[in-house]
């Protein structure tokens, strides 16, 4: 395999204090907890990390802090993608100084580029860095879908394009990706609830939100599937399925931050506008589902 990021990558939240400042103490505490509880790699400054509202200097400090906290116990991946190729390249230059283990680059959002435009965008980035790149396809946020043929062209052309995070519920696309892409190209589910179904047709692991709270259980589900313990894997999926879905009943990362604060893994559930904290009724609804998970 091209990717050595493992089976469970946690898309990590960015803890904040009551004033909305990054809480670096909680950040390091949480990163260490994740590295010790099922996360092979930690993705910082992705959507779950509220990247759209973080400054470039905050992102660099977050990367540095998480690398220090995990101290080699987990790989650290940095979200660097934007809807500007030039802007992505300039930020990537700064990120490279911190020596992350890899970068996540989303399909450009809002501009809605063509497939040719996507190829040019990712090619420009891959040509300018030696860091391993995970491409990120999430049509619900970008407004455009990167097709399997496009992924295959890029995976064939660039050895440092090592993986794809696929956040799209189209199972046929997974089959097409497996048929068209190089055998060593890694595909991650970008949706916790689809990890096991997608693994049945070749997905290698997950870039997860639920692993903040159930990292060891998700790792067990994946390992059991790969070793032929299908019933055990399915049972774990079904146990966790309610929380997989409930973590997205409000905008991400509002629900997961609420649970992490409740578990005292971070100090507050604070998010930056335009996101807002859950209402008391929403919090009670979420906690009811979380507390019903029988493990």
pLDDT of residue 1: 58
Can you tell me the distance from the alpha carbon of 39 to that of 33, in angstroms, rounded to the nearest whole number?
Answer: 9
pLDDT of residue 294: 87
Map residue 101 onto helix, strand or coil: coil
- Up-side HSE of residue 183: CA atoms within 13 Å toward CB? 0
152 within some domain = yes
91 within some domain = yes
| Active site residue ranges | 136, 165
164 and 135 Cβ atoms separated by less than 8 Å: yes
- CB 230: neighbour CB atoms within 10 A? 12
278 within some domain = no
In 3D space, the residue among 40, 105, 56 whose CA is nearest the CA of residue 79 turns out to be 105
pLDDT of residue 295: 86
In 3D space, the residue among 222, 241, 247, 242 whose CA is nearest the CA of residue 232 turns out to be 222
pLDDT of residue 201: 97
pLDDT of residue 2: 75
In 3D space, the residue among 266, 210, 148, 227 whose CA is nearest the CA of residue 9 turns out to be 210
Cα 248 off chain centre by: 14
CATH of the domain at 221: 3.20.20.70
Please give the tally of structural domains in the chain: 1
Cβ contacts of 238 within 8 Å, gap of 6 or more: none
Can you tell me the distance from the alpha carbon of 241 to that of 246, in angstroms, rounded to the nearest whole number?
Answer: 9
Query: Which tokens in the block code for residue 62?
Result: 């977050």
Can you tell me the distance from the alpha carbon of 240 to that of 218, in angstroms, rounded to the nearest whole number?
Answer: 9
77 within some domain = yes
DSSP letter at 107 equals P
In this prediction the pTM is: 0.97
Domain range enclosing 121: 8-227
Can you tell me the distance from the alpha carbon of 272 to that of 125, in angstroms, rounded to the nearest whole number?
Answer: 29
pLDDT of residue 83: 95
Crossing angle (nearest 10°) for helices 24-35 and 56-70:
40
In 3D space, the residue among 223, 243, 228 whose CA is nearest the CA of residue 294 turns out to be 243
117 within some domain = yes
263 within some domain = no
Q: Please give the chain's pLDDT, 295 residues, in tens.
A: 578 999 999 999 999 999 999 999 999 999 999 999 999 999 999 999 999 999 999 999 999 999 999 999 999 999 999 999 999 999 999 999 999 999 999 999 999 999 999 999 999 999 999 999 999 999 999 999 999 999 999 999 999 999 999 999 999 999 999 999 999 999 999 999 999 999 999 999 999 999 999 999 999 999 999 999 999 999 999 999 999 999 999 999 999 999 999 999 999 999 999 999 999 999 999 999 999 998 8
Can you tell me the distance from the alpha carbon of 227 to that of 106, in angstroms, rounded to the nearest whole number?
Answer: 32
Give, in order, the Cα–Cα distances in Å from 15 to each of 31, 101, 102, 214, 251: 11, 22, 22, 18, 16
- Dihedral, CA atoms, 224, 225, 231, 237, nearest 10 degrees? 90
257 and 231 Cβ atoms separated by less than 8 Å: no
Query: Which tokens in the block code for residue 279?
Result: 């209402």
280 within some domain = no
Residues β-bridged to residue 42: 10, 76
244 within some domain = no
């Amino acid at each position: 395999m091209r990717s050595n990021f493992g089976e469970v990558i946690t898309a990590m939240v960015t803890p904040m204090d009551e004033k909305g400042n990054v809480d670096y103490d909680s950040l390091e505490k949480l990163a260490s907890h994740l590295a010790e509880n099922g996360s092979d790699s930690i993705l910082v400054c992705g959507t779950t990390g509220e990247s759209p509202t973080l400054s470039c200097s905050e992102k660099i400090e977050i990367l540095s802090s998480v690398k220090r906290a995990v101290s080699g116990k987990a790989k650290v991946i940095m979200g660097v993608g934007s809807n500007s190729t030039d802007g992505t390249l300039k930020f990537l230059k700064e990120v490279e100084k911190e020596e992350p283990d890899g970068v996540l680059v989303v399909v450009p959002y809002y501009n809605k580029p063509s497939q040719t435009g996507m190829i040019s965008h990712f090619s420009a980035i891959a040509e300018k860095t030696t860091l391993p790149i995970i491409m990120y396809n999430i049509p619900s946020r970008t407004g455009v879908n990167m097709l399997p043929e496009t992924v295959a062209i890029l995976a064939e052309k660039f050895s440092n394009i090592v993986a794809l995070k696929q956040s799209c519920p189209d199972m046929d696309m997974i089959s097409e990706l497996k048929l068209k892409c190089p055998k060593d190209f890694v595909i991650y589910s970008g949706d916790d609830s689809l990890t096991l179904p997608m693994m049945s047709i070749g997905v290698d692991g997950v870039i997860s939100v639920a692993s903040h709270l159930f990292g060891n259980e998700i790792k067990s589900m994946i390992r059991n599937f790969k070793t032929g313990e299908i019933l055990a894997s399915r049972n774990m999926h079904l146990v966790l399925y309610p929380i997989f879905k409930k973590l997205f009943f409000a905008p991400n990362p509002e629900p997961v931050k609420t649970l992490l604060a409740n578990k005292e893994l971070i100090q507050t559930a604070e998010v930056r506008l335009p996101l807002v904290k859950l209402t008391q009724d929403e919090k009670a609804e979420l906690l009811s589902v979380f507390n019903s998970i029988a493990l």
